[in-house]
A and B are shown apart, each in its own frame.
Chain A
Amino acid sequence: MCGIVGLYLKNRALEPRLGQIFEPMLLAMTDRGPDSAGFAIYGDEVGAGVIKLTVQVDDVDYDWKPLVAALEKRLGTSLDWFQNATAAVIKTTADEAGIRAALAEFAPEVHVMSVGQSIEILKGVGLPREITERFTLKKMQGSHIIGHTRMATESAVTMEGSHPFSTGADLCLVHNGSLSNHSRLRQELRREGMAFETDNDSEVAAGYLTWRLQKGDSLATALDGALKDLDGFFTFAIGTKNGFAVIRDPIACKPAVLAETDDYVAMASEYQALASLPGIENARVWEPEPATLYVWERQ
């Protein structure tokens, strides 16, 4: 079992309060996923030609300064960066491949969580409350956010195995369910050049979407492919630069509920997680249909 939640603000006046409104949603899913938690928040967008990387280590006392200095020297450019607990957010004009190669060389213990212009993925092992407090979620601002609380059933409880998983620039995935053909699919994707860090089934789903999107598929086509190629149970929430998407497998065993008002669109595994939202009493609340893609994006 796992819990997934997402919140997309239609009313931009609420953006300064995104973290504050979202935190109770994630915490309400603690029963469904007490072993790890994480979220992908979209905000603080960097300009054209700049990328933002969110990187993370296990050690809270990790000293980022020597690593940043080494990166600056290698890349020949100064880095705009800040630390948030076990994570660091780096903004740079350097190219992604170069900075990834330098990170792998200087600090293999550092994991790249996300790359893009807006996304920051923050996650870890522990109760959802520990994770939201570690990264001070309630003070965060942004346009939309998706989150996950994990109760691992198939693979190890580690930071790398927790959600969300990055699926490309400004894209990420959270998953509730289990995939039965992940081992075969992982082998096939490895032959296609995809790399995997864990033996987690959800990482394979993320890798599958990344692969389809790299091949030039639209998100809708990639997800249509997922319905055919992924064998198992899933409710996915997918974060994109401008919004989020929700899809359930054709059997639709794994729950999902959606709510929409003039101010926001929200999704959750259970209505409990929506009960704290402002104006929920008058929201349109419904269950997404099986094998149907729902997308909300800013134009």
Chain B
Amino acid sequence: MKTVDLSTATVRELNQALHDEARQLSERAWTVTHPAGKHNIACGIDQTLNVDIQGHAGYYCAGMNKKADITVHGNVGVGVAENMMSGSVRVKGSASQSAGATAHGGILIIEGDAGARCGISMKGADIVVKGNIGHMSCFMGQAGRLVVCGDAGDNLGDSLYEVHIYIKGKVKSLGSDCVEKEMRAEHLAELKGLLEKAGFNEDPASFRRYGSARELYNFKVDNAAAY
């Protein structure tokens, strides 16, 4: 196992070492100590590394992740796992806004709360949150699954495309074109799989499903006067 101490090394040095390692693949297990809320930790990894971050991370932690499994033992700032392609990111604490923004694949697990705009414009990733999520979450979400064991803030799923949203708690308000949908057997099975993957002991039957009403997919000529 390799350890990088960010009280002495820079984030640039850490990320370069991780990228070099991703080519050689002789040491898969990495530990990062003293992250102290620094930005851009463990970004752009594209191999099956295992990175353990021992403390709070700043903005864009694990951004653009591909194949790697990254765990943060603390909170993360804005845009954790933004544009993730595959692999996994687990946050033991809470995440700030725009968690998993535009993520195409992989799974983002947040054991605390996520702030506003969780899963904004997500494009295929799975996001599972143990706590609550903030307002405008899943805005323009295109594909993937968002699971929330707590409550959701205002305007959930505004201008939603095809993300499957599962919320156990209260939804403060639904965004434009987001509606509650029937929970069928295939959805319960999908949700069960995601909860198991995240390691959260929850009953899928206690969740509600939300999705797109698909009313905004095409321009309506009746609205032409508004433009």
**Which chain A residues have a beta carbon within 8 Å of chain B's beta carbons?**
252, 255, 257, 270-275, 281, 285-287, 289-290
Instruction: Say yes or no: B37 contacts A274, CB within 8 Å.
Output: yes
- Binary CB contact string for chain B from 53 to 75 against chain A (1 if under 8 A, 0 otherwise): 00110110000000000000001
Shortest C-beta distance, A25 to chain B (Å), equals 12
Alpha-carbon separation in the docked complex, A274 to B96 (Å): 15
> How many residue-residue contacts, CB under 8 A, span A and B?
43
Instruction: Say yes or no: B75 contacts A271, CB within 8 Å.
Output: yes
A-B contact pairs, 21 of them (CB 8 A): A252-B97, A252-B115, A252-B134, A255-B77, A255-B78, A257-B96, A270-B37, A270-B77, A271-B37, A271-B56, A272-B39, A272-B58, A273-B37, A275-B37, A285-B75, A285-B94, A286-B94, A287-B96, A287-B97, A287-B115, A290-B116
Please indicate the chain B residues that have their CB under 8 angstroms from the CB of A272 in the complex. 36-39, 58
Instruction: Say yes or no: B135 contacts A270, CB within 8 Å.
Output: no
Residue from A252, A271, A273, A289 having most chain B Cβ neighbours under 10 A: A271
Q: Of A271, A281, A285, A286, which is within 8 A of B58 by CB? A: A271
Instruction: Say yes or no: A270 contacts B94, CB within 8 Å.
Output: no
Chain B 86-124 interface residues, beta-carbon cutoff 8 Å to A: 93-94, 96-97, 115-116
If over half of B's interface residues share one DSSP class (helix, strand or loop), that class is named, otherwise mixed; here it is loop
Instruction: Say yes or no: A275 contacts B36, CB within 8 Å.
Output: yes
Alpha-carbon separation in the docked complex, A271 to B74 (Å): 11
Q: Of B77, B115, B116, B134, which is within 8 A of A271 by CB? A: B77
Alpha-carbon separation in the docked complex, A148 to B164 (Å): 42
Known contacts A255-B77, A271-B75, A271-B77; is-contact A287 B94 (Cβ 8 Å): yes
**Which chain B residues have a beta carbon within 8 Å of chain A's beta carbons?**
36-39, 55-56, 58-59, 75, 77-78, 93-94, 96-97, 115-116, 134-135
Question: In chain A, what residue has the closest Cβ to B76?
Answer: A271
Please indicate the chain A residues that have their CB under 8 angstroms from the CB of B97 in the complex. 252, 255, 287
Please indicate the chain B residues that have their CB under 8 angstroms from the CB of A286 in the complex. 94
Question: In chain B, what residue has the closest Cβ to A272?
Answer: B37
Alpha-carbon separation in the docked complex, A273 to B38 (Å): 10
Alpha-carbon separation in the docked complex, A290 to B77 (Å): 16
Shortest C-beta distance, A298 to chain B (Å), equals 28
Question: In chain B, what residue has the closest Cβ to A287?
Answer: B115
Question: In chain B, what residue has the closest Cβ to A268?
Answer: B37
Instruction: Say yes or no: B38 contacts A255, CB within 8 Å.
Output: no
Instruction: Say yes or no: B116 contacts A252, CB within 8 Å.
Output: yes
Alpha-carbon separation in the docked complex, A271 to B76 (Å): 9
Instruction: Say yes or no: B56 contacts A270, CB within 8 Å.
Output: no
Please indicate the chain A residues that have their CB under 8 angstroms from the CB of B75 in the complex. 271, 285
Alpha-carbon separation in the docked complex, A275 to B56 (Å): 9
Question: In chain A, what residue has the closest Cβ to B55?
Answer: A281
Alpha-carbon separation in the docked complex, A270 to B36 (Å): 11
Shortest C-beta distance, B116 to chain A (Å), equals 6
Please indicate the chain A residues that have their CB under 8 angstroms from the CB of B116 in the complex. 252, 290
Not counting A271-B58, A275-B36, A290-B134, a sample of 12 additional A-B residue pairs whose C-beta atoms are within 8 angstroms of each other reads A252-B134, A255-B97, A257-B96, A270-B58, A271-B77, A272-B36, A272-B38, A275-B56, A285-B75, A287-B94, A287-B115, A290-B116
Please indicate the chain B residues that have their CB under 8 angstroms from the CB of A289 in the complex. 134
Question: In chain B, what residue has the closest Cβ to A28?
Answer: B37
Alpha-carbon separation in the docked complex, A289 to B133 (Å): 11
Shortest C-beta distance, B103 to chain A (Å), equals 20
Question: In chain A, what residue has the closest Cβ to B75?
Answer: A285
Shortest C-beta distance, B56 to chain A (Å), equals 5
Please indicate the chain A residues that have their CB under 8 angstroms from the CB of B39 in the complex. 272
Please indicate the chain A residues that have their CB under 8 angstroms from the CB of B78 in the complex. 255
Instruction: Say yes or no: B135 contacts A252, CB within 8 Å.
Output: yes
Please indicate the chain B residues that have their CB under 8 angstroms from the CB of A285 in the complex. 56, 75, 93-94
Question: In chain A, what residue has the closest Cβ to B96?
Answer: A287
Shortest C-beta distance, B158 to chain A (Å), equals 13
Shortest C-beta distance, A267 to chain B (Å), equals 14
Please indicate the chain B residues that have their CB under 8 angstroms from the CB of A257 in the complex. 96
Please indicate the chain B residues that have their CB under 8 angstroms from the CB of A290 in the complex. 116, 134-135
Please indicate the chain A residues that have their CB under 8 angstroms from the CB of B93 in the complex. 285
Alpha-carbon separation in the docked complex, A252 to B116 (Å): 8
Shortest C-beta distance, A39 to chain B (Å), equals 21
Please indicate the chain A residues that have their CB under 8 angstroms from the CB of B56 in the complex. 271, 275, 285
Shortest C-beta distance, B114 to chain A (Å), equals 10
